Amino acid sequence: MRKSMVEASLRQALNAYNSTNRMHYPLKGHHVSNLEAVEYYLSKAIPYLPNHLGLALTIANMQSFRGEITKALHSYHDCLATARSDTERSKALTYLTVWYHYEGKHLRVEHCLKELRHISYKDETNVRALLKIIVTILSAPKLPEEKAAVLPPNSVVPYLEPSARHAIIALGYMLNDDGSMAPLLIQRLELTLQLAYRHTDSLIIVTGGLAKQGKTESQQMKGWLIDHGIKPERIIEEDQATNTIDNAKLSLALLKQHKIQSATLISASIHVHRSHILFETLQRDIDFHPIKFNHLAVKDGLSNCSVPTGQIRRNCYIDALRGFGLPAFNCEPLVQI
């Protein structure tokens, strides 16, 4: 009975986490955010799994996702206090380091890094590298599309050294129910087209495997580019991914396969920095000379800030941790990056 109750609570928590009903999730006769529902269902399981660190970390993650950073930091500290191994302590310290960095509490950051060093010099080095990626990308302003449009024909891509092995990566966006492309996705393709005409030797990767009416994002994107004059042999489809992390992993494999040395990510103004962070973080795991990435943001009106602020900035830190290999939902046997 106890086992079935725990399994039911964990399954309900995962269902809530994956729900598209973000703000009006039904719970005990009320409507809450889906993340609050996740925390509620996991809290029901904690008395039966008091030593399950992943469950406690997942609750802390939900708090950080909601922007309750002070509460989340207390929860991560509780996880550190109850950790039973160096591996568990290292994991809790990694979360604490990254979120103290988000808060700008640099003395706390250095204290956590010092504690990490006592456990593993390698872990400390890796977390410092993660923080460097975050700082570098979040300080790089988005280059709006009008700047991309006026690049001289033989100029290099912004922020990159000249390279014959360059790729343009157009990140997908969910299709309409009838299989057509949403205006936000067409905007990305229009910017991709401008850059492709300016850099005629660059390969183009279109991403996205979610299908509507038998058509995937990447198929629709490729067809649009061909219709607008791009040769089919320049276009590579990544047609398996169903989320941004899979986009990055599968695209990195394609970049390695085609010996790409530098790449430009094209996405929404609220999405491009976090995508850049994912690509940079995930490429730690590929056996290949590091690829130089930059990004271009579509002028879509979704963000008027040149660098991420507020929830957009917080999402960048969340994705940095996910790209680092720390699942957002980590309640074994139910684990989801």
What confidence tens digit (pLDDT) does each residue in 8-40 have?
A: 999 999 999 999 999 999 999 999 999 999 999
**Cβ 6 vs Cβ 45: under 8 Å:** yes
pTM beyond cutoff 0.75: yes
Percent of the chain topping pLDDT 90: 74
**Cβ 16 vs Cβ 34: under 8 Å:** yes
Element (H or E) spanning 13, and its range? helix 2-18
Give the bridge partners for 215, in sequence order.
Answer: 212
Mean pLDDT value of segment 109-132: 97
- Separation CA 280–CA 273 (nearest Å): 11
State residue 153's pLDDT score. Answer: 37
CB count, 10 Å around CB of 65?
20
Q: 53-65 and 86-102 are packed helices; what angle lies between their axes, rounded to 10 degrees?
A: 10
What confidence tens digit (pLDDT) does each residue in 131-148 have?
A: 999 999 998 655 544 444
**Cβ 282 vs Cβ 275: under 8 Å:** no
What confidence tens digit (pLDDT) does each residue in 153-164 have?
A: 334 444 444 455
Mean pLDDT value of segment 90-99: 98
CB count, 10 Å around CB of 146?
9
pLDDT above 80: residue 306: no
State residue 148's pLDDT score. Answer: 40
Mean pLDDT value of segment 316-329: 95
What confidence tens digit (pLDDT) does each residue in 211-252 have?
A: 999 999 999 999 999 999 999 999 999 999 888 899 899 999
Q: Is the dihedral of CA 26, 29, 32, 36 positive or negative?
A: negative
User: Please, what is the Cα angle at 25 between 23 and 28, to 5 degrees?
Assistant: 135
**Phi/psi of residue 211, nearest 5 degrees:** -105, 145
